[in-house]
Amino acid sequence: MGDQSESGRYSIFTRRRMLSGAAAIAFSTAIGSTLKTSTASPSIPVSCLTGYNDAWKYWVENGLGHSVVASHVAASSSDVLRQNFQWQWHHPCENANDFEELQRLVDLVANLAVQTDTKILPCITTVPVWARSASGGILPQFLDYFGQYVAEIARRLSRWRDEHGILHNVLAGIEIGNEPNFFQLPSAGNTVPPANNHPCNVAPLPNQYFNPWCMSYEDHADLVTYAYSWIEEYKNYNYVSPDTRIIAGGLFATWTEDYTIYGKRFRNGLNGSDHQSQRLNWCEYLYLFESAVCAEYDVGIHPYYLGPYSGNPQSLANKIANSILAIVDQALYISSKDIWITETGATSKFPVEQQRQSTALQMISNGMNSRPRCKSLLVHSLFSGEGPDSPYHQFGVIGVAGNPLLPFPKPAFSALATNWSN
């Protein structure tokens, strides 16, 4: 990969087949009336890869421990476990790779995968501050650093050896990005980049919202293209499995009745007033992204239902499932690529108590049978770490509030496990 100059590689892998913003808006508006919300019979098992997105490193090292986590993963009938790999963890400064720490994380999740007969879907996130451009992506001179990081993760999971020296391929694919089209309230340790034109600073209150992976579709396209080029090079040397897939990553593909996510309207949350934003909605983002990327890839989406959580619980479970399946259908309409649902879920908080959560998730799961281009359904999440009075979330299908050594399955856990094992 080092034979080409940085500038040469950058010119090759960042060509644009640009479409006008007006055309994208017209396109996303036109498809709004075409959505299908039908669901399959609950007796039909899903045929795509199934599993969970969760903080496996946390639960193994700080919460439940390896044996307890492994026993519940095994009982879940999962195929895939999604694990976050933050680039900033393993490349803290330009001249310092911490590949020893990377290998520790690989060993942890690979051991879990081998013991539970699952695969790992690494999700690559968080550009280090030293490599981040003003637009939220990566400075051109550091794009190969990113490509190498992605390829190293793929190599270590695709050619992992256990303590007995036995070779295992525990790689399900590799996802580039986590909700790059979404901004959020800053969390502890996150700081807003100083550049005024950073896409996370387009909101009316620029310092209130920041996602460390938020970036333009052009920047996201560059990362997918560079990841693909490095993975292809590693395939040439048999460093990674020849069927390794790139998933372009995890768009926050959600709307609500209260506000439009990453769209033209934005509800402040501080005083409830509406503001105008110049952000693309997720349909526009995906449409323009596909016009800009120069690589083979699948598409990741994160469909959720965000409210309002009111009304009859059974009707609400139906509404949650049909809304999420409608989002999936919209992604399938926009894109000709295979779709990986790398996060979705239903909370057991609000009027959606545990049985309603189970009903909604089963409907979503069964709905995948009529959508053959959906290649995965990863529920968020296996474990619920929040207390019983948490104002939101409770997405996990196993509760661990109180004594972490006594996790208890919710109805959704056994329902999904039975469905997925058929």
When pLDDT is averaged across residues 248-253 and rounded to a whole number, the result is 90
Establish if 218 belongs to a structural domain.
yes
Establish if 255 belongs to a structural domain.
yes
- Does the structure show a pLDDT above 80 at 365? yes
Establish if 35 belongs to a structural domain.
no
When pLDDT is averaged across residues 238-261 and rounded to a whole number, the result is 78
pLDDT at 402: 63
Establish if 241 belongs to a structural domain.
yes
H or E stretch at 143: helix 143-158
Confidence of residue 183 (pLDDT cuts 50, 70, 90): low
When pLDDT is averaged across residues 145-169 and rounded to a whole number, the result is 95
Are 111 and 101 in contact by the 8 Å Cβ rule? The answer is no
Residue 329 φ/ψ, nearest 5 degrees:
-65, -35
pLDDT at 41: 45
Strand partners, 366: none
**Residue 242 vs residue 29, higher pLDDT:** 242
Establish if 17 belongs to a structural domain.
no
Q: How far apart are CA 96 and CA 87, in angstroms?
A: 12
Q: How many domains does the chain have?
A: 1
Q: How far apart are CA 56 and CA 339, in angstroms?
A: 24
The CATH number given to whatever domain includes residue 379 is 3.20.20.80
- Does the structure show a pLDDT above 70 at 44? no
pLDDT at 26: 39
Q: Is 306 exposed, middle or buried (0-12, 13-18, 19+ CB in 10 A)?
A: middle
The pLDDT tens digits of the residues spanning 281-291 come to: 788 889 999 99
Establish if 14 belongs to a structural domain.
no
Q: Which residues contact 66 (CB under 8 A, 6 or more apart)?
A: 60, 111, 112
- Does the structure show a pLDDT above 50 at 27? no
**Residue 194 vs residue 270, higher pLDDT:** 194
Establish if 27 belongs to a structural domain.
no
Confidence of residue 317 (pLDDT cuts 50, 70, 90): very high
**Residue 188 vs residue 176, higher pLDDT:** 176
Q: How far apart are CA 181 and CA 199, in angstroms?
A: 9
Establish if 36 belongs to a structural domain.
no
- For 405, the domain range is 43-421
The winner for highest mean pLDDT among 13-27, 79-93, 205-219, 229-243 is 229-243
89, 375, 50, 150: CA torsion to nearest 10: -20
The pLDDT tens digits of the residues spanning 117-150 come to: 999 999 998 888 888 887 778 899 999 999 999 9
DSSP 309: -
pLDDT at 245: 94
Q: Are strands 174-176 and 298-301 parallel, antiparallel or unpaired?
A: unpaired
Are 66 and 60 in contact by the 8 Å Cβ rule? The answer is yes
DSSP 230: H
Residue 122 φ/ψ, nearest 5 degrees:
-75, 135
pTM above 0.85, yes or no: no
pLDDT at 387: 59
Are 171 and 244 in contact by the 8 Å Cβ rule? The answer is yes
Are 114 and 107 in contact by the 8 Å Cβ rule? The answer is no
The pLDDT tens digits of the residues spanning 102-115 come to: 999 999 999 999 99
When pLDDT is averaged across residues 293-298 and rounded to a whole number, the result is 95
